[in-house]
Amino acid sequence: MVQVTYIEQDGKSRTVDIAEGVSVMDGALRHHIPGIEGDCGGACACGTCHVYVEPEWFSRLEPANELETKMLTMVVDPKENSRLACQIVLKPELDGLTVHTRESQY
């Protein structure tokens, strides 16, 4: 299991255990974390799982592929540490990962 902390817009944080190989988006949906919609089911086709990754974790992630990079140009309020949660697949090295969710993806 990999622990992921989701921090909501109001500052409320929730740490959950998620199995290796599961995406940050799927983990959020399974644990009913607000702010992550995942409308496309993780196909990297909608941007409704947009999160901000804590800076100390950002460099530990696999780089965004071309499709994710393009999708990130269409999300609400993109930042340097923006990623799509559907594209972050959990592995032991990411134990303790912290992401910030958005109040709304639209």
In a domain, 105, yes or no: no
Q: Kindly report the length of the chain.
A: 106
Report the C-alpha gap between 95 and 26 in whole angstroms: 16
Report the C-alpha gap between 63 and 69 in whole angstroms: 9
Cβ-based burial of 87 (10 A; exposed 0-12, middle 13-18, buried ≥19)? buried
* CATH code of 88's domain: 3.10.20.30
Q: Is the pLDDT of residue 105 over 90?
A: no
The alpha carbon of 85 is separated from its chain's Cα centroid by a whole number of angstroms, namely 3
| 19-68 tens-digit pLDDT | 999 999 999 999 999 999 999 999 999 999 999 999 999 999 999 999 99
Domain that holds residue 9: 2-100
